[in-house]
Amino acid sequence: MLKRVIILFLMFFAGTFAYAKPIDVQEENGIYHITLKGNAVRKHIKFILSPNLVTNKEIHTENKSILTINTGFFDPKNGRTISYIVTDGQVTEDPMLNDNFIFNPFVREHLKEILNRTEFRIIQCEKKLKYEIVPHDTPVGNNCTITTSAQGGPMLLPELRLEEELFLVKDEDGNIIRQSASMLDRVPRTIAGIKNDEMHILIITNKNPKTIYEARDLCKSLGFEYAMAFDGGSSTSLDYKKIHVTSTQKLDTGRRLKSFMIIK
């Protein structure tokens, strides 16, 4: 009798866990907060790139993805990346192969810092998958490998690295003389974070645009332990079920992009 009770108990809770919702999407005041819950979903996250610039919706449909967002920075003039992308353990896009990027005088002067901009990683340590938000040159631990990653920047938490990653440049008197990726402007943004070993994504839309400082403060208020930005502004994109978010107004198709995070 006891054995039958135990079997029924396990069957009930196995069914409960099987139907647990691994992707939770909430929207408030023009900001989508996506939480990826549990360990199983990590196996289905992949950062990918497209040979040609395409919209988030096109990649979402082509890959039969459950959820798709935009990720790394790219050069719209030649369609090449300016962010590292790792897919299935292989570097699939390297900014050092982008001539427009490496021959830019500002980039050449600050190449080391720009190449070390922050990335979101999924690393495998033996049989366990873990999330990381770290500068690109950060080594992985012993017996660990990067399964997939996408670079963007800047890091927002635990510390904001605007100047270290050359998104903001100041002169000797502390005056701002250069900003990249509209860091100081209120624009839509795509943010990735980690809290309690779960991945969180914020899609900040045109309805409630934010400066990078405001985005950082929002991540703090939500209790994120680590956070970073991906490409934002007109690149900010989300497709999930019937939700289709873009930050362009032209026919609502969205900007054509280079790299994406998909959940298969």
Does the structure show a pLDDT above 50 at 12? Answer: no
Q: Determine the average pLDDT of the residues in 139-149.
A: 95
The pTM score is 0.90
pLDDT: which is higher, 46 or 247: 46
pLDDT band at 175 (very low <50, low <70, confident <90, very high): very high
* Most distant CA pair in the chain, distance: 80
Task: Supply 11's token pair.
Answer: 């069957």
Cα–Cα distances in angstroms (integers) from residue 22 to residues 80, 230, 263, in the given order: 33, 22, 11
- For 156, the 3-state DSSP assignment is strand
CB 130 within 8 A of CB 141: no
What is the pLDDT, as a whole number, of residue 253? Answer: 64
Helical segments of 37-183, H only: 56-62, 99-102, 105-109, 111-115
DSSP 8-state assignment for residue 233: G
CB 123 within 8 A of CB 145: yes
pLDDT digits (tens, 9 = 90+) for 128-139: 999 999 999 999
Q: Determine the average pLDDT of the residues in 208-232.
A: 98
Does the structure show a pLDDT above 50 at 155? Answer: yes
- For 101, the 3-state DSSP assignment is helix
- Taking all residues of the chain, what is their mean pLDDT, rounded to a whole number? 91
What is the pLDDT, as a whole number, of residue 108? Answer: 94
pLDDT: which is higher, 115 or 142: 115
What is the pLDDT, as a whole number, of residue 3? Answer: 52
